[in-house]
Structure 1
Amino acid sequence: MKNLFAILFCLISVFSNAQKTRPFDEDKFYSELSSLSQKKDFFEVKELLIANKSRMDKEVYFYYWSLVENAFSNFKESNEAIEDFLEGAGSMNNDSLFKEILMVKQLNLVNLFEYKNAYQTNQYIIENFKHVCTAEELDDLSNTGRIWKALENSNKQLINRSVDVKVQLSRDNAKLANVPVTVSGITKNFVFDTGANFSVIQRSVALEMGCEIIPIQFDVSAITGAKVKSDLAVIKELLIGDPGGSGQVVKCENVVFLVFDDTDLTFSEVNYSIQGIIGFPVIRNLEEIHITKEDQLVIPKTPEVYTKSNMILVGFVPVVQVIQDQDTLQFSFDTGAAETSLNSSYYYKYKKRVEKKGKKQTLKSGGAGGMVEYQGYLLPKVTLSVGLSTVTLQDVQLRKDHVGEVDSDFDGNLGQDFIKQFNEMIISFKYSTIHFK
């Protein structure tokens, strides 16, 4: 949505009454909304919309409100706002704006596990708005469209639990949290990773568990910047927990997995292999999770109500508000990352401080597709706060430049070194909040 500012001003010019006067600076207000949206600061956008709804042109309001509802995981409500927008803006001649809003609709449908409707929306965008799509957008639409097409007859993902469920996590050789997962009576340890856009499984493990593989060979972008080929599997029933021990399990139905070749999830340099990953679509659907310092995962039957939000979604990525000094930063949130890291946007915000205090060096990071080296800094000390919880981290890695799929919109990624400073972490996906005890 890089051209959102120009697009929204076009929208305003179409719908505003030229004779109408407002008791506030309209141009300044809409400029601020656009700027905040581009920065993904939907906390502030939400406050501005609530405070100024009666002053706004309703189509502009519905446009921004759909973005807010999407960010706060209210996907059905976001699509309702999109329909209200399209009803009023149907005759407007601005294909770029329609493309942007339909992209959000497609994302909402995917998050609602309505794959057939997502595919139809995907194709509608390609057929009607190809002329206002970038080459990158068209490539992404074509690639993801293959996924939604392959899943169009799949049932929605469902999560079932009758009691509060407690699961003991384990740590693998990379010190990542693993959860026991049972499919067809076979139990494996999968990484429990909020930073994974999808759940992932090794091809050999999928075959061992009797999964039916859908051979579509679509492209997945790796951290190296390379494309990794993947197929799909839909697991009809998957148990998270220990069915043979405590018997406390969460039953997950119709879970979509990306199927990677074993070599793409094996890191021979460090003698490490990932059998599978429980990714964000499953974790978000749990509604609320607690992870203790003793690596116990607690999944309440009934989520607690929280009134204050400090977490949003950007696409499939959970993003948390982080305070440094008195600055509000945005960090992606990744339980599958051992260490907190900083991105290029952080470098440019604090360039003088980083170059003065940091140690310049070549750094490494790994993911599907292998390892990548990049230039960056090692900062001896970084103090970060989430809510009322503050941690000072030592020797934090900072990427100086954009690397692979790391999103430069975020200032960093919050990892286990922050999380493990506390006795308990609580994440409410239902109420978009995270806090530490």
Structure 2
Amino acid sequence: MVAGAKTCPSPTARSIRASAARPATASATSMTEMAQAHGRGRPPASTEMAATPGNSTPASVVSASAKPAAITASRSRRAKRPRAIGSVIAQTLFLFYEKLLLRFGDYGMRSKCATRSAPRRRLAGGLAAVALLAGCASARPPHPRAVTDVAAVIDGAAAGDPAPLAGALVRVRGAQAALLRARLAALRLDRAGAERALGTYFAAHDTDPRRQAIAWATRGEAAFAAGDYAAAATAIEAWQRLPRAGWHAGEEASMAQTLTIARLLRAQPRQAVIGGTPGTVATSRDRVGLVRATVRINGVAQDAVLDTGANLPVVAASTAGRLGLRILDGGGSVASVTARQVTTRVAIADRLDIAGVTLAHVVFLVMDDSQLSFPVAGGYRIGAIIGFPVFRALGRVRFDNAGGFAAGRAAGPALDADNLRVSGNDLYVLARVGGFATALHLDTGAGRSGLTSRFAMLHPFVATFPTGSDTLMGAGGGAVARHTAIWRQVGITIGARSLTLPELPIATDAPKGQDEDRLGNIGQDVLGAFGSYTIDFDRMGFALGPPRG
């Protein structure tokens, strides 16, 4: 929630999870001192700190002995694992059900406006089926401070964060510099720039197996994001022929699943805008707060969720049949955060009409109806989801919180900001959180903003915050418990707009079986505080509209 707004969750948000209060815990400080510090959104004054310019919150404050066991144990586990490239296509077919917890779970939201954290149960289900390109499943370290090998820099960078790469670029030359330029270009959806840099890299005949693997993965990621699935398949096949010494844990299986979908689409016509005049379409919020609009698929009206967190459009199996989608032969299984396998297939819509624009050959993932149905009181299901590839094709889009979705010229003038990055079809906004530069995942389906265990690792002062726990529930069954901390009165700045959140939840342990590559997400508590928000893929910019009254 934003400053001045209600701090309690809405009745709808409450209806989709159960809450049970639990006392908050503190470490290494008195509760009185802790309460005073948290009221100001920073650690206790007695803690040794190094302040960041323009922000009262320290960059590093507490000793290891004062850190929650979850954070300390997480660091110990990560130190033993090989580090994997971030922002590659390595998990194309992995379903990250925690994406749905951002939509339905509303990080940290409780049934009462409490002053302490509490256990919360959250849904995490089939909407997450669209998290196709979220990066490798294996571990990632914090940003390296003094690393000369760009492979370590790239593997260590948080998803969507260009700063470590740009910082390393001034220290290296030759093939390594070319590889960094390729990664930076890919983050800006500049496929031509990425290809130029990769051409320079390959011409240098670099023999390092890890850097070679990163180069081919980058080529595949850029091709996949552009909808060039034939080129993506070719790049992944080249990656598979590389020496295994360049691979990291979990990449082989992930890349194989990515290749499955790329091969299915290899011979299919690429998505294209074929007509229409950009305009607007009315939108509404459904019972769990997701943005919905009526689109036409193969000439048939269809209610669909508009979700920037969807890496590919998604459709329920029964809806695919009713709309006459062409389901391709073949398919695959994907893993959820609860380690269960979910089956998916791929289909093509010959035509999609949205906000006055007509697209042809639109790819959809087809999920069983049960995977798009959720245990919400009274029942809740999703028939279709429109995601990143469609929004990118529209060039510039604007979501109006009063109800409306605009495309192209109708979305307003081009943005001057250069604060949008894309990693594996996931959108990231370069923001400042509590004064810290942070790349935040832009997911319009997320009910509330939050920070991850990766942010907690980088900023030890999180250890002084009150703690709680959440239970993630996968649509396919099973549950996973995670620990959280609450940061109070946090300032968030995006471009020219700023606001203060009364509290911001932080996960203090990683999802089961993987390490967190993101730093956090932007949810509707931020987006909904402004009249609109605009995404400009041509200028790679993101902007919030005027504050709502």
Fold in common (TM above 0.5): yes
Cα deviation for residue 379 of structure 1 reads 4.4
d(CA) in 2 for partners of 1:109, 1:386: 29
TM-score by length of 1: 0.83
1:252 and 2:359 aligned = yes
Cα deviation for residue 158 of structure 1 reads 1.1
The residue aligned with 2:25 is none
d(CA) in 2 for partners of 1:285, 1:371: 37
CA RMSD of aligned residues (A): 2.9
The residue aligned with 1:104 is 218
Cα deviation for residue 87 of structure 1 reads 1.2
Q: Provide the secondary structure at the position in 1 that maps to 2:441.
A: strand
Higher-RCO chain (CA-CA 8 Å, sequence separation at least 6): 2
Cα deviation for residue 64 of structure 1 reads 0.9
1:2 and 2:83 aligned = yes
The residue aligned with 1:58 is 174
d(CA) in 2 for partners of 1:250, 1:404: 41
Q: For the structure 1 residues 368 and 212, does the alpha-carbon distance in structure 2 shift closer, same or farther, using more than 3 Å as the test?
A: farther
1:42 and 2:123 aligned = no
The residue aligned with 2:188 is 72
Counterpart of 2:423 (choices 305, 314, 323) is: 314
Which amino acid is the alignment partner of residue 222 of structure 2?
N
Which amino acid is the alignment partner of residue 224 of structure 2?
V
Cα deviation for residue 213 of structure 1 reads 1.2
d(CA) in 2 for partners of 1:144, 1:84: 26
1:389 and 2:497 aligned = yes
d(CA) in 2 for partners of 1:147, 1:82: 24
**Map of 1:12-411 to 2, 5 A cutoff?**
30=148, 35=153, 38-40=156-158, 41-43=161-163, 45-46=165-166, 49=169, 52=170, 57-89=173-205, 92-160=206-274, 162-241=276-355, 249-270=356-377, 271-301=379-409, 304-353=413-462, 355-356=464-465, 358-364=466-472, 373-403=481-511, 408-411=516-519
Cα deviation for residue 110 of structure 1 reads 1.2
Cα deviation for residue 126 of structure 1 reads 1.3
Cα deviation for residue 72 of structure 1 reads 0.7
Q: For the structure 1 residues 250 and 406, does the alpha-carbon distance in structure 2 shift closer, same or farther, using more than 3 Å as the test?
A: farther
d(CA) in 1 for partners of 2:279, 2:197: 35
Which amino acid is the alignment partner of residue 83 of structure 1?
G
Cα deviation for residue 192 of structure 1 reads 0.9
The answer on whether the counterparts of 1:363 and 1:376 sit within 8 Å (CA) in structure 2 is no
d(CA) in 2 for partners of 1:405, 1:394: 32
Q: Provide the secondary structure at the position in 2 that maps to 1:153.
A: coil
The answer on whether the counterparts of 2:151 and 2:211 sit within 8 Å (CA) in structure 1 is no
Residue by residue, what CA displacement relative to the aligned partner does 1:341-385 show, whole Å, maximum 9, x if unpaired?
Answer: 2211233344444543x3423354666778754332344543321
Cα deviation for residue 175 of structure 1 reads 0.7
Cα deviation for residue 56 of structure 1 reads 5.2
d(CA) in 1 for partners of 2:282, 2:514: 31
d(CA) in 1 for partners of 2:176, 2:506: 38
Cα deviation for residue 301 of structure 1 reads 3.5
Q: Provide the secondary structure at the position in 1 that maps to 2:204.
A: helix
Q: For the structure 1 residues 176 and 88, does the alpha-carbon distance in structure 2 shift closer, same or farther, using more than 3 Å as the test?
A: same
The answer on whether the counterparts of 1:36 and 1:42 sit within 8 Å (CA) in structure 2 is no
d(CA) in 1 for partners of 2:514, 2:305: 20
Which amino acid is the alignment partner of residue 215 of structure 2?
I
The answer on whether the counterparts of 2:157 and 2:164 sit within 8 Å (CA) in structure 1 is no
Question: Which has the larger share of strand?
Answer: 1
Q: For the structure 1 residues 405 and 199, does the alpha-carbon distance in structure 2 shift closer, same or farther, using more than 3 Å as the test?
A: farther
d(CA) in 2 for partners of 1:63, 1:257: 32
Number of aligned residue pairs:
401
TM-score by length of 2: 0.67
d(CA) in 2 for partners of 1:364, 1:373: 6
The answer on whether the counterparts of 2:417 and 2:495 sit within 8 Å (CA) in structure 1 is no
Cα deviation for residue 425 of structure 1 reads 0.8
1:422 and 2:422 aligned = no
Q: Provide the secondary structure at the position in 2 that maps to 1:258.
A: strand
Question: Which has the larger share of helix?
Answer: 1
Which amino acid is the alignment partner of residue 490 of structure 2?
V
The answer on whether the counterparts of 1:223 and 1:369 sit within 8 Å (CA) in structure 2 is no
Q: For the structure 1 residues 124 and 364, does the alpha-carbon distance in structure 2 shift closer, same or farther, using more than 3 Å as the test?
A: closer
Cα deviation for residue 82 of structure 1 reads 0.5
Cα deviation for residue 435 of structure 1 reads 1.3
- Aligned identity (percent) is 21
In structure 2, the gaps of 5 or more residues are: 1-81, 86-144
The answer on whether the counterparts of 2:435 and 2:491 sit within 8 Å (CA) in structure 1 is no
The answer on whether the counterparts of 1:198 and 1:256 sit within 8 Å (CA) in structure 2 is yes
Cα deviation for residue 282 of structure 1 reads 1.6
The answer on whether the counterparts of 2:84 and 2:248 sit within 8 Å (CA) in structure 1 is no
Which amino acid is the alignment partner of residue 314 of structure 1?
S
Which amino acid is the alignment partner of residue 383 of structure 1?
G
d(CA) in 2 for partners of 1:368, 1:219: 12
Q: Provide the secondary structure at the position in 2 that maps to 1:65.
A: helix
d(CA) in 1 for partners of 2:480, 2:284: 27
The answer on whether the counterparts of 2:309 and 2:444 sit within 8 Å (CA) in structure 1 is yes
In structure 1, the gaps of 5 or more residues are: 5-26, 242-248
Cα deviation for residue 251 of structure 1 reads 1.0
